[in-house]
């Protein structure tokens, strides 16, 4: 669980900014969204395959870009 200790001299805005950054780094929001919807096993498999294809395309695009 993400938490931030606020100093006496620190403003609320900067503490909130640090908290948001920490939550994002720990991928808490992503995890909540992932568990908020139930996917059937077949749907999960298809989504996983689609993500793998996207990663592969991105990797190939980067390799092609750096070959020049």
How far out from the chain centre does Cα 6 lie? 25
The contacts of residue 26 (CB under 8 Å, 6+ apart) are 2
The pLDDT confidence band at residue 16, using thresholds 50, 70 and 90, is: very high
The mean pLDDT value for 25-43 works out to 90
Is the predicted pLDDT of residue 65 greater than 70, yes or no? yes
Of the ranges 32-41, 43-52, 57-66, the best mean pLDDT one: 43-52
């Amino acid at each position: 669980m993400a938490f931030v200790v606020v100093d006496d001299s620190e403003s609320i805005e900067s503490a909130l900014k640090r908290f948001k950054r920490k939550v994002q780094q720990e991928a808490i929001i992503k995890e909540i969204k992932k568990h908020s919807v139930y996917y059937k096993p077949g749907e999960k498999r298809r989504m996983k395959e689609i993500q793998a294809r996207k990663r592969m395309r991105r990797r190939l695009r980067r390799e092609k870009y750096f070959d020049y």
